[in-house]
Copies of this chain bind each other. A is one copy, B any other.
Amino acid sequence: MLERIRIVLIGTSHPGNIGATARAMHNMGLADLALVAPRGESRSAEAISRASGADKILHHAPVYDDLESAVADCRLVVGASARSRTLPWPMLTPRALGERLPAELAEADARVALVFGREDTGLTNAELQRCHAHVHIPTNPDYSSLNLAAAVQVLAYECRLAWLAHQPTDATPEADPAPAMPRDAEAEAAKAAASAEHEAVFGIAWDHPPASHADLERFFDHLERTLIALEFHDPDKPRQLMARLRRLYMRARPDQMEINILRGILSATEKKTATRDPGES
């Protein structure tokens, strides 16, 4: 889908912006760049430097004389506009644009163009009127001039999010989570199952399974004994001490390794206290 989204830059003055656009596109998985009447040398050293490894996109970008030719094969053409002009036009937010793309690009040969104007004056009214819709990136009303490549970055980001959301749910769209998991398939499956619970909480595969309820309770018993030995806790005047500690630790959903560490600390504390008791008496 992403390869059929074309970024069209019209009348760009600064080659650095073309390079930075190529980089922003490549980062988000887009590859189809078209230039309309660029005003500088679009493949200058500065453009290539700012493309930072994405210069393949730059070198492949065709140059057209006008918008018409650049978007002739596109089914949907959306123009980036700072604000609505005199004549109201269908207006999309970047998010709404992204959400429309999977359906727009469902057919294998469907193409969509996102059109960006000049750094200084944007798109002309004639160009805007060649668009099916306009997209406006919400900006600070006191300072609305987005850098060209920054505007491309935001829209390309929304395109990528829409594409990721459209992947089958069993896919792993986020690149390469593999290193988080052990290689061995069986261990991997077990670990995946174990970490699923933490994943819901933390949004990431976890390295150790969550501690069981019984592990947690043993930890709280151990903690309370230790706090009594430290004379920090008086069970006859409990205040809310144990309740507050329970709330803190349970909120964190400790994993098995973390509980082992916490219990190790408690044992070390008990040992220091115990071995020194005779010395004290």
Which residues of A come within 8 Å of B, CB atoms? 20, 23-24, 26-29, 52-54, 83-84, 87-93, 95-96, 136-141, 143-147, 149-150, 153-154, 157, 160-161, 164, 173-178, 180, 202-207, 227, 230-232, 241, 244-245, 248-249, 251-254, 257-258, 261, 264-265, 268-269, 272-273, 275-277, 279-280
- Smallest CB-CB separation from A279: which chain B residue? B279
Complex Cα distance, B197 from A33, in Å, reads 37
Complex Cα distance, B248 from A104, in Å, reads 18
Evaluate whether A145 and B27 lie within 8 angstroms (CB atoms) in the complex, with A153-B154, A245-B261 already known.
yes
Cross-interface CB contact of A207 among B52, B87, B149, B241, cutoff 8 Å: B87
Evaluate whether A227 and B265 lie within 8 angstroms (CB atoms) in the complex, with A139-B28, A249-B252, A252-B248 already known.
yes
Measured between beta carbons, the chain B residues less than 8 angstroms from A173 are 138
- Smallest CB-CB separation from A153: which chain B residue? B150
Evaluate whether A175 and B139 lie within 8 angstroms (CB atoms) in the complex, with A27-B144, A84-B180, A269-B230 already known.
yes
List the 4 shortest-distance A-B pairs measured between CB atoms, nearest first. A279-B279, A276-B276, A141-B175, A252-B252
Evaluate whether A251 and B157 lie within 8 angstroms (CB atoms) in the complex, with A27-B144, A207-B87 already known.
no
Cross-interface CB contact of A26 among B143, B254, B257, cutoff 8 Å: B143
| Copies of the polypeptide in the assembly | 2
Evaluate whether A248 and B254 lie within 8 angstroms (CB atoms) in the complex, with A20-B147, A143-B53 already known.
yes
- Smallest CB-CB separation from A271: which chain B residue? B230
Task: Give the Cβ gap from A191 to chain B, nearest Cβ, in Å.
Answer: 12
Flag if A203 contacts B90 (CB, 8 Å).
yes
Most B CB within 10 A of own CB, among A83, A153, A275: A153
- Smallest CB-CB separation from A158: which chain B residue? B157
Task: Give the Cβ gap from A252 to chain B, nearest Cβ, in Å.
Answer: 4
Measured between beta carbons, the chain B residues less than 8 angstroms from A146 are 27
Task: Give the Cβ gap from A132 to chain B, nearest Cβ, in Å.
Answer: 11
Measured between beta carbons, the chain B residues less than 8 angstroms from A153 are 150, 153-154
Evaluate whether A204 and B154 lie within 8 angstroms (CB atoms) in the complex, with A53-B143, A146-B27, A272-B272 already known.
no
Evaluate whether A174 and B138 lie within 8 angstroms (CB atoms) in the complex, with A84-B180, A230-B268 already known.
yes
Listed A/B pairs (19) with beta-carbon separation below 8 Å: A20-B147, A23-B147, A27-B143, A83-B175, A84-B180, A87-B207, A88-B202, A90-B202, A90-B204, A91-B204, A93-B203, A136-B174, A138-B160, A139-B160, A232-B265, A248-B252, A248-B258, A252-B252, A272-B273
Flag if A88 contacts B204 (CB, 8 Å).
yes
Flag if B257 contacts A244 (CB, 8 Å).
yes
Complex Cα distance, B147 from A84, in Å, reads 30
